[in-house]
Amino acid sequence: MLTLADYAATAREGMDPGVWDSIEGGAGQERTLAANLEAFDRARLRPRVLTGVDRPDTGTRILGRTWPVPVAIAPMAYHTLVHPEGEVATARGAAPAGVPFIVSTFASRTFEEIAAAAAGPLWFQVNCFRERATTRRLIERAERAGFEALVLTVDAPHPGRRLRDVRNGFRLPPGIEPVNLAGPGLSSSGDALIEFETSLDWSVIEWLRSVSSLPVLVKGVLTACDAQRAIAAGVDGIVVSNHGGRQLDGVPATLEVLPEIAAAVAGACPVLLDGGIRRGADVLASLALGASAVLLGRPVLHGLAAGKEEGVAHVLGIVSDELTEAMVLTGTASVADAGPELVQAATGPSRPTGAEPARAVPGQPSGYGSGLPHGSGLRKEDLHGSVSDPVLDTMNFLNEITHRYPEAISFAPGRPYDGFFETEQIFEYLRRYLNHLEAGGASPARVRDALFQYGPTSGQIRELIADWLRQDEDIDVSPESIVVTVGCQEAMFLAVRALISSPEDVLLVSSPCYVGITGAARLLDAEVTAVEEGEGGFSCAELETAILAERARGRRPRALYVIPDHANPSGTTMSLETRQELLELAARLDILLLEDSPYRLVSPGKQLPTLKSLDRERRVVHLGSLSKTLFPGARVGFAVADQTVTDSAGGTGLLADELTKIKSMVTVNTSPVAQAVVAGMLLAADGRASELNTRTAAYYGDAMRVTLQQLEECFPEGERAALGVRWNEPSGGFFLAVSVPFRADNAALVRSAEEFGVIWTPMSYFYPQGGGEHGIRLSVSYLTHAEIVDGIGRLARFIKAQAHA
């Protein structure tokens, strides 16, 4: 069995000494490279026994993509030095592992050729030249070729002296050149004479945003201060790399400064580490000290030189296998579970530049092994990975903006208009339900218990909900198939927990989608695959393609989450034809449908049938809420789960029974008082919730009409086309989507609130695997018509100002 060292030795034997020295000398001095290797040698992993871990999960999620292992191929120039096909062979070799490949500006094969050979994500390493037009052309070309991210090199303001090359008098052989760059600016030998821009500052991030919609990472960060400035500039990721220290003595190893940088970033974006990775144990040590993933450089070239594309595949396989073994030996069940307690420094690392001296924690070991940074505080990386997930951060950020600018008109909250609520109604509805119980023969003790006791976990108003569904929605199910939940959010959580039972299981979501479902999946470590909606809405063909692709990867798609009516966030409604096609597809490919339906009764006009009412094969788990339609504060939702579940002994029950078991360990039961008030409201309308929503549906319909009318007035057709602004026209619900000609990110939102007094929601929040960067969501439900008129005027002024900025 070959090792990485064997590949290095074989590569060296078969390579011209000058080429070998050029590759090994790289862009840094020998002392910098040695420091990286020594840091990993000092970082000893602590074994743990009897942990029960035998098949750890090496997958990780970065920039909306799931990586099979937390490893990417580092950017390196001129792969044709070691193999005639260069980066094309590297891309083919990386294909089985599915890891990202960061392609150098100085690649020796074209972006298009590399993309045609690649199976995993491609990122482009950007060197910013003095002639910005050159850099822009390279970025645009990479984006057209399908590259998914930009990695800006910030630690190399000029190419620098490659010491081994100087000693050897090495120059690139004829015919090896950066083929993606134009001929002018290159010498005949291929040495890059194009000048790097040496006066870059953090504004370059905004410039990159202006020329590309791709995520931007910065490579070369070595201090917490720079990491924080990168976050403030809005980067999507940080690469800890010391290659830029080639002209400085004593530059710290990347592993030494990693904990400081990870603490400064605090989960705001992925942190990748580059430099010195030679073993799977090095990968795990990096993860434990705060890295999201690592970059593997020279070993890949060794594999390419010694074994062609098969060598690349084998090198990546070795690192993956060694990582798995290290995780087993340390009892690390998943990448997210890797924490600093796994690592002990044998001699103690050098203190990171600019870092404060570490304070000892009583009763805790010093150095890497301590899970506590100062005093008795907790390290965020020791908590579940979901607390650092952008999905969970988005709404917190939005709430913060709303509270920071209370005078701004906010189109962000998707909550009902509260002008219809009367305080005394609560008591009226509560009494009506108690009278209902008494009329049904309930004893005074039973009536008292219905309010003051926990009540059944599955809910005590299931019969009334079943009656309402039958009358209003033509959904004919038994009360036993219903679970009353704490809002629809709990119903989602219970359904995902029950259906996603192994790492191979996948939850499909229509994208863009409601963040509540992706947030629930993240909390449960459930894999999510997005099925992108097109201009015409949801596509069953795209769903089938996604299902078949997941099965080809050895995964098991279990269910699709979808909001067929007036969806959040897009406002789109699925046609009757598509609903019928979707049900047929679910039966043919054996998946379930999680149908969320909060906006039907608050929308004007006759609604299309629910998926559940059309369901003849029990393929639909219907998730519902009475918050939007009856009483938001009650937080009463439900799940209709009439699917049959068979146990190993042949016994059968309902999926609702299994959801009830899970609920008993989560919320125990839904508030009896909240259920009683909602039940009284249903009884007041003879079981027809639609009767209670006639006035509200008309109000929301008018709100949507006023919003669309104001958009038309503020953006006449000619100006709209010139600006690149457009929007959809939902027939109901609370939301609509607006496309804008700029990146609608958090920075733009802050400017909108601060300078123009209007708040909205970035559509990118709702794309679980990336997208929506040029869209905003408007909610029309909570505002008065006067506020909508004023707010759309403010929004129009902001959009026009931002478009011309």
Task: Tell me which residues are annotated as active site.
Answer: 243
List Cα–Cα distances, 182 to 86, 518, 643, in angstroms: 19, 44, 62
Q: Is the dihedral of CA 122, 128, 131, 133 positive or negative?
A: positive
> What SS3 state is found at 485?
strand
- Tell me the chain's radius of gyration from C-alpha atoms: 29
Q: How far apart are the first and last CA of the chain?
A: 59
Nearest to 461 by CA among 647, 254, 634: 634
List Cα–Cα distances, 365 to 83, 130, 360, 475, in angstroms: 48, 49, 8, 61
Rounded Cα distance, 526 and 519, in Å: 10
Angle at 156 between CA 155 and CA 161, to 5 degrees: 135
Contacts for 651 with CB less than 8 Å, ≥ 6 apart: none
Kindly give the pairing relationship between strand 122-126 and strand 101-103. Answer: parallel
> What SS3 state is found at 325?
helix
Task: Give the full edge-to-edge strand order of the sheet including 735-739.
Answer: 726-727, 735-739, 775-779, 761-762
What are the φ/ψ torsions at residue 516 (nearest 5 degrees)? Answer: -60, -35
DSSP string, 656-675: HHHHHHHHHTTTSS--HHHH
Residues composing the chain: 805
Rounded Cα distance, 470 and 800, in Å: 49
Provide the token pair at 446. Answer: 């039973």
Rounded Cα distance, 687 and 678, in Å: 11
Q: Is the dihedral of CA 544, 546, 551, 557 positive or negative?
A: negative
Rounded Cα distance, 484 and 387, in Å: 28
Kindly give the pairing relationship between strand 505-511 and strand 527-532. Answer: parallel
Rounded Cα distance, 165 and 150, in Å: 29
Rounded Cα distance, 337 and 532, in Å: 31
8 A C-beta contact, residue 696 and residue 603: no
Rounded Cα distance, 54 and 60, in Å: 18
8 A C-beta contact, residue 45 and residue 329: yes
> What SS3 state is found at 45?
strand
> What SS3 state is found at 201?
coil
Indicate the residue type of 23.
I
What are the φ/ψ torsions at residue 495 (nearest 5 degrees)? Answer: -65, -45
**651-686 as b/e, with b when 16 or more CB fall inside 10 Å?**
eeebbbebbbebbeeebebbbbbbbbbbbbbbbbbe
Nearest to 254 by CA among 40, 542, 569, 536: 40
Nearest to 306 by CA among 18, 21, 20: 20
Rounded Cα distance, 684 and 688, in Å: 9
Rounded Cα distance, 547 and 67, in Å: 18
Cβ neighbours around 202 below 10 Å, total: 15
8 A C-beta contact, residue 103 and residue 146: no
Nearest to 735 by CA among 367, 305, 476, 414: 414
Residue with tokens 């990748």: 272
